[in-house]
């Protein structure tokens, strides 16, 4: 493969698919369209290498992960150029993707060895006193990781280091829209001389489906529609599926919020990555007491956002293109639907003439009859609705099939937290947006149609890629035990007495006295 920034990247053999530049629609690359046979062969190679990987133990495995991190950072500029080429992001949004590599890999390398150690468990009840109990974690041999296009490097990196640290081999499938940077990062794993426990296959949805057919556990991030199809197939194969799906996050701004912070946070939370973040601010509920000022300041700030793709790495654009023309169509459809139903655009509301650009947009006079307030937009829009009370804000925020995250803005920490606990979402940020996903110590996962399971959260981040093996030993190993054969009335009687004596809660039942 060649990795120049000018012409298309090409591969030699077999069927291919095109990757198009979001900047101008030109063909940026052609990559192999891997079919089921290729995927099965990759799975077989990974399965062959996995037992030795598991035997290495977590410390040695983490050494390879840290070596890989060095490689990623040594090749940072080249990888980020690929991210920008395939996603059309501004350089500021692009640069964020290597930060995640540093955070995740350091985190997992620091903690995985202790998280994977056997856990001793105290036996329950006097009858089990003589048991020696341990829980041992063994990896799923082969984990599939299927990812979307919004963060070409970040998305695979949020999962794969944890699975590798757990001792699993990983078959990864990046989005067909943005496969370039990740294919190269996965090649880096081979280049550092690490065992062959990570492979990247490329292709469309069918390639993803072939991955699901080969693996022992699937970690998926993407749309609710695809997640549901994967859950069905996983159920047929009886393999676990961890699903991170779509969202429609609400931002609730109370009347006592720090207005400067709320305005700046709304604009960043709604527009970062051109709004293509699963936990973007997708809809806002603002208390009537501050609504007018909030709306006017947000509009002013959004109108000043600089849009474009600064391929010269100059940080002169705030937000870039959207990944696909289809995504621009969805955004425009939501805006047009809102306008047709009586909403007003205060700024933006137009698509670019060339490339996948949509101007950052503020919508007001919106309500829940409009798609912009109920369906995932995944674009640079801020639809703002006035609310008269906390009650109304909570009711509207919870009026959604999604339950990924949300945010509450107030100077009163107790008030904000109490309100946050009433939201039906897997996470809530207080006086901030988007930051929940970066907190590795707490679970990140969606409720309702936003997902199943959680992406990470302390020890769970690694242990989710393992199966729990219960080791039940004996402290005192007698020649025989009371309930072993032959059964006798004496032993059965002693057992029955012991069960009552140790398990009942009053003296009459403990000594088996008849009921009065
Ligand atoms: P998508 O569901 O269209 O595709 C995601 C991946 O699934 C791609 O790699 C695709 O090739 C693959 N795929 C498609 N059909 C498949 C099938 N039948 N079996 C297996 N794999 C298949 O999603 P997208 O458009 O790439 O991404 C946008 C969506 O991702 C949005 O809904 C967004 O909210 C969601 N997302 C969620 C999170 C989260 O953490 N909850 C994070 C980022 C994005």
Which residue's CA is minimally distant from atom 40 of ligand 1? 244
Long-range pairs, 412-418, Cβ under 8 A, ≥24: 412/254, 412/256, 415/254, 415/256, 416/254
pLDDT at 308 (0 to 100):
97
Closest CA to 254 of 361, 368, 382, 386: 386
Closest ligand 1 atom number to CA of residue 177 = 26
Lowest average pLDDT, out of 38-52, 132-146, 403-417, 474-488, goes to 474-488
What pLDDT was estimated at residue 239?
98
Q: How confident is the model at residue 9 (pLDDT cuts 50, 70, 90)?
A: very low
Report how far residue 268's alpha carbon sits from residue 286's, in angstroms, rounded to the nearest whole number.
16
The alpha carbon of 1 and the centre of ligand 1 are apart by a number of angstroms equal to 26
Residue nearest to atom 43 of ligand 1 (CA): 278
DSSP 280: S
Residue nearest to atom 23 of ligand 1 (CA): 222
Residue 5 has pLDDT above 50, yes or no: no
Q: Is the CB of 179 under 6 A from ligand 1?
A: no
Domains of the chain, each with CATH number or no CATH: 16-245+459-467 (3.40.605.10), 250-438 (3.40.309.10), 487-516 (no CATH)
Show the beta-strand stretches assigned E in 214-360: 217-221, 241-244, 250-253, 283-287, 344-347
The verdict on the CB of residue 374 being under 6 Å from ligand 1 is no
CA-446 nearest atom, ligand 1: 41
Mean pLDDT, rounded, for 196-215: 98
Q: Which pLDDT band, with edges at 50, 70 and 90, does 13 fall under?
A: low
Q: Ligand 1: does its nearest atom lie under 6 Å from the Cβ of 452?
A: no
pLDDT of residue 514: 85
Tell me which of 222, 239, 461 to substitute to probe ligand 1's pocket, judged by most ligand atoms within 8 Å of the beta carbon: 222
Is pLDDT above 60 for 486? yes
Minimum-distance ligand 1 atom for the alpha carbon of 226: 2
Task: Please work out whether the CB of residue 219 comes within 6 Å of at least one atom of ligand 1.
Answer: no
Which residues touch 319 (CB under 8 Å, ≥6 apart)? 89, 90, 93, 271, 272, 273, 274, 305, 306, 307, 360, 380
- Cα torsion for 334, 335, 341, 342, to the nearest 10°? 150
d(CA 66, ligand 1 centre) in Å = 28
Q: What is the pLDDT of residues 223-236, one digit of tens each?
A: 999 999 999 999 99
Rounded mean pLDDT, 260-275? 98
Q: Is the CB of 144 under 6 A from ligand 1?
A: no
Whether 233 lines ligand 1, by a CB cut-off of 6 Å, is no
Sort residue 263 into left (φ over 0), alpha (ψ -120 to 50) or beta.
alpha
Measured in Å, residue 221 CA sits from the centre of ligand 1 at: 5
Distance from C-alpha of 396 to C-alpha of 158, rounded to nearest angstrom: 31
CA-to-CA distance for 463 and 290, rounded, in angstroms? 46
**pLDDT confidence band for 464 (50 / 70 / 90):** very high
């Amino acid at each position: 493969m060649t990795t120049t920034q000018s012409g298309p990247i090409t591969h030699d053999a077999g069927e291919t698919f095109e990757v198009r530049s979001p900047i101008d629609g030109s063909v940026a690359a052609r990559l192999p369209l891997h079919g089921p046979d290729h995927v099965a062969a990759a799975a077989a190679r990974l399965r062959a290498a996995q037992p030795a990987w598991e035997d290495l133990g977590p410390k040695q495995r983490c050494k390879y992960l840290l070596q890989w991190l060095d490689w990623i950072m040594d090749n940072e500029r080249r990888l980020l150029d690929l991210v920008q080429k395939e996603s059309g992001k501004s350089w500021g949004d692009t640069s964020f993707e290597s930060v995640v590599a540093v955070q995740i890999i350091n985190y997992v390398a620091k903690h995985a060895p202790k998280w994977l150690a056997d856990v001793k468990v105290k036996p329950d009840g006097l009858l089990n006193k003589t048991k020696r109990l341990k829980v041992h974690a063994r990896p799923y041999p082969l984990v599939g990781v299927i990812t979307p296009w919004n963060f070409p490097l970040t998305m695979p990196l949020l999962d794969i280091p944890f699975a590798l640290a757990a001792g699993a081999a990983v078959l990864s499938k990046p989005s067909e829209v943005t496969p370039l940077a990740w294919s190269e990062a996965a090649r880096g794993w081979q280049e550092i001389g690490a065992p062959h426990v990570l492979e990247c296959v490329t292709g469309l949805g069918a390639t993803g489906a072939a991955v699901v057919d080969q693996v022992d556990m699937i970690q998926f991030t993407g749309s609710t529609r695809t997640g549901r199809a994967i859950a069905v197939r996983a159920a047929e194969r009886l393999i676990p599926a961890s699903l991170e799906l779509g969202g429609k996050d609400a931002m609730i701004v109370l009347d006592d919020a720090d207005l400067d912070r709320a305005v700046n946070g709304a604009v960043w939370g709604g527009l970062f990555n051109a709004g293509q973040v699963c936990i973007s601010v997708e809809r806002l509920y603002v208390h009537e007491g501050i609504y007018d000022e909030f709306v006017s300041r947000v509009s002013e700030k959004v109108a000043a956002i600089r849009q474009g793709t600064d391929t010269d790495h100059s940080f002169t654009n705030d937000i870039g293109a959207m990944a696909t023309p289809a995504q621009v169509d969805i955004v425009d459809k939501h805006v047009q639907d809102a306008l047709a139903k009586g909403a007003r655009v205060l700024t933006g509301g137009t698509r670019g003439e060339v490339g996948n650009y949509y101007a950052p947009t503020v919508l007001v006079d919106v309500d829940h009859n409009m798609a912009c307030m109920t369906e995932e937009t995944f674009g640079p829009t801020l639809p703002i609705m006035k609310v008269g009370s906390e009650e109304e804000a909570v009711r509207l925020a919870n009026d959604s099939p999604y339950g990924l995250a949300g945010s509450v803005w107030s100077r009163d920490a107790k008030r904000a937290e109490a309100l946050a606990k009433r939201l039906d979402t897997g996470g809530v940020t207080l006086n901030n947006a988007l930051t929940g996903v970066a907190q590795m110590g707490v679970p990140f996962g969606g409720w309702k149609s936003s997902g199943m399971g959680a992406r990470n959260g302390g020890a769970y981040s690694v242990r989710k890629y393992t199966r729990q093996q219960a080791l039940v030993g004996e402290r005192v190993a007698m020649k025989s035990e009371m309930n072993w054969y032959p059964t006798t009335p004496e032993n059965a009687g002693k057992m029955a007495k012991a069960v009552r004596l140790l398990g009942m809660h009053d003296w009459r039942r403990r000594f088996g006295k008849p009921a009065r």
